[in-house]
Structures are given as structure tokens and as C-alpha cells.
Amino acid sequence: MSFCKDCVSGTVQLGEPQGKIEEINGVTTYIATPTVDYPKDKAVIVLTDVFGLPLTNNKLLADSFAANGFYTVVPDIFNGDSVPLSVLEGAEFKREEWAPNHGPAQTRPTIDKVISGLKDKGVKEFGATGYCFGARYVFDLAFENIIKVSVVSHPSMLEAPKDLQEYFDKSTAPLLINSCTHDDPFPFEKQEIADKIFGDGKFKPGYKREHFEGAKHGFAARGDRNDPKQKADMDGAFKNAVDWFLNYL
């Protein structure tokens, strides 16, 4: 599991989350419910960066999706062991000790439990949006067509062309990628490969890559909203995701 400095940096947002923490099938999950009528058979799953549920930003993102009419859940994909928020303030992060406990064998079963629990509640169609670490699992769910719609922002842990080609070959989920200029895990070379595989109408379910010039890895989840450019990029990536879900979910 590779990390770049931008994977564990960024800004904590101010705001009071409006949702609630509950257990879904034994998994601690943040749930944001629209205040207006919404389709009870659909849900958006937010698969987070390495800071997980403790990071207010991730809960506020879910609230924003709910404000746009989507029942939204944020499972604790780190099983109570997300990267400490103190790392954002400069504390030491021993990634070599943390990472072995957060591979697919530990993470995917947690996601599957939440999806199973939501199905038991009557949810039939899922959209998933993944940021950094979480984007890897959006792809894995799409490979199996468990989700109907995919959004990833500055994804980590994707091999190119391998994972991109597998998505093309196996998935029927329309794919939106929010990419940026300064992104070690998903650099311009991988972005070009994605466009070559999916672009020009080749991926029939639907494909779009939006590029945020000058932005860096993590911008869509941990940008500084006091900086006009970063705020505009965060809002732009979010709007892209909402529009994608409105169109395809």
C-alpha cells in the first residue's frame, strides 16, 4: 500500500454534522438522511480517505449528498483504526505499522456487511463515491457490478492499465473520475491511460474525467475552504458527483 505526503495532509472543515452514527449489520456507520422525500430503494455509499469517520469533512460530505436527496452512508471501513487526526497536525504516522491491518482482507468484508444490511432494509441500487483510499474499493465493487454508479476522486492504489482495463471489461457502472494536477497515486500518465481506455465513447455505460488544474491529491475531501481556489475545486468535484448520481442512479 503506497502513500504520498498529500494522502495524510489537508484541512479539517468547520461545521456540525447533521447525521447520526448507527450500526448497520454490526458496522459503525454515519448515516445522513434527506429532509425531503427520497427513493428508499437507493443509497450512496461514501468510501473515505484514511482519516475515516473521525474526520468531520467526511461526515459533512455525506450531509451534502443528503441535502441533494440521496440517502447516504459512510461506513467505518477502518474498523475503529483510521489514521489519527493528529497526523494532520504533524504527528508521526508509522504507515508501515498501520497499512498491513487495512488491506482488502480487513476492509472489503466491512463494506460487504453494510451493503448486505442496507439490502435487508430494502435498498436495491447503490452509488459509491470514493476518495483516495476509498476509491480502490469503488473499483472493486464495480468489478462485481454490486454498485450501479461509480465516482472516484484522486484515487489511490489503482494499477494502470490493469485495474482500468478490468473495469472496462467487467463493469456496467458509469464512471466519473475527478482528477488533479499534483497527484502521485493517480498522476497524469494514469489519467491519460484512463482516457485512452474509456474515452471517446468506448465505455458504453458512460465515462467522464473532470480535471482540476493546480489542485493536489486530497483536494476533494481535505481542501482549505478559506482558500477561494481550493473551495471552488472542492465544490466543483462535489457538484460533479451529485450530477453523476442524479443522471445515473
For residue 175, what pLDDT band results from cuts at 50, 70 and 90? very high
Q: Contact, 9 vs 218, CB < 8 A?
A: yes
d(CA 97, CA 1): 11
Q: Contact, 31 vs 73, CB < 8 A?
A: yes
Strand partners, 74: 30
Rounded alpha-carbon distances, angstroms, from residue 176 to 21, 36, 200, 232:
28, 26, 14, 18
pLDDT, tens digit, 9 for 90 and up, residues 232-245:
999 999 999 999 99
Q: Which three cell numbers stand for residue 74?
A: 459512510
pLDDT, tens digit, 9 for 90 and up, residues 107-157:
999 999 999 999 999 999 999 999 999 999 999 999 999 999 999 999 999
Q: Which residues contact 36 (CB under 8 A, 6 or more apart)?
A: 69
Nearest residue to 77 via CA among 98, 56, 49: 49
One-letter amino acid for residue 140 of the chain: D
Helical spans, DSSP H, in the chain: 56-67, 95-98, 104-120, 133-143, 162-170, 188-198, 219-222, 228-248
